[in-house]
Structure 1
Amino acid sequence: MDFGILLGRAYQGFVADLHAHMAERGHRMLGASYGYVMRALDEKALTASQLGERLGITAQGAAKVVDEMVRYGYVERRPDPGDKRAKLLHLSARGVDLLETVRAFHTAYENDLIARMGADQVATVRAVLGEIASTDQPGFRPL
């Protein structure tokens, strides 16, 4: 199988399993950007502009995602004590539960792979994926 197709199918399968797991626990997974927003807000409360900057998108793009996440109860807007005009974004209790549930799924998924394939094989996959994800090149150019 073509390497790109193999990577894509592996990711699609992972995401399908994750969404099924989340649905069983009462969570909606609507956008791929949810995970990035959740992790950013887990580190510290941010304004929509700061969140957009952190994610490499416009403040308007961040606000659109945040509006959706507020609507589903994952994020809350609270007054910024340092700037009365600004609102800080925080994970709600439901958002914290979602993030904890996702992290538990990731751990269980990897542990299942270790049980089936062995720790050395999974460590190799992690190393390869880490290399792919960390490349600072704009694109692959075959030699």
Structure 2
Amino acid sequence: MDFGVLLGQAYQGFVQELHAHLAGHGHQVLGASYGYVLRTLADNALTASQLGEHLGITAQGAAKVVDEMVRQGYIERRADPNDKRAKLLHLSERGRDMLDTVRTFHADYERRLTARVGADQIAAVRAVLGEIIDTATDSTTARAFRPL
């Protein structure tokens, strides 16, 4: 099997398991950007435009994701104390719960995988994936990765 296909299928399997885990905890993921948005807003409130800029998507794209996440109860819009015209995006209690659930899943997934294949194998996979990311990030032609 081609290496890229192997990477893609491994990621798809991981995401399917993550979404099933989230559903079991009362969370529904409608878009691929949810995780990036949750992590971005975890420590800093941003406007929709700032969020889009941070994630490397258009303001319109960010607004669409934000509207969806507000409807689902993961994000709240609040007045910006420094600019009454602007709305800052904050994680709601439900959004924080989802992020905590995701982080717990990630740690448990890696623990389970480590138990099956060993810590040395996991360290090697992490090193290879890190090299792939570093190489693509250093390339002037590579699409920028979303910051996490």
TM-score range, shorter chain: over 0.9
Q: Which runs of 5+ in 1 are unaligned?
A: none
Equivalent in the alignment of 1:34: 34
Number of aligned residue pairs = 139
CA distance in 1, matches of 2:131, 2:85: 42
Deviation of residue 32 (structure 1)? 1.1
2:89 counterpart SS class? strand
Q: How big is each residue's C-alpha offset from its partner over 1:30-63, in whole Å with a ceiling of 9 and x where there is no partner?
A: 1111111111100200001110110111111101
Deviation of residue 79 (structure 1)? 0.4
TM-score by length of 1: 0.94
Deviation of residue 90 (structure 1)? 0.1
1:111 counterpart SS class? helix
AA paired with 2:53? E
**Which structure carries more relative contact order (alpha carbon 8 Å, separation 6+)?**
2
Say whether residues 1:51 and 2:57 are aligned partners. Answer: no
Provide the alpha-carbon RMSD of the alignment.
0.9
Equivalent in the alignment of 1:87: 87
Q: Which runs of 5+ in 2 are unaligned?
A: 143-148
CA distance in 1, matches of 2:61, 2:13: 27
Percent of aligned positions with the same letter in both sequences? Answer: 72
CA distance in 2, matches of 1:103, 1:3: 27
Say whether residues 1:66 and 2:66 are aligned partners. Answer: yes
Equivalent in the alignment of 2:126: 126
Deviation of residue 4 (structure 1)? 1.3
Q: How big is each residue's C-alpha offset from its partner over 1:89-127, in whole Å with a ceiling of 9 and x where there is no partner?
A: 000000000000000000000001110011010011011
AA paired with 2:91? L
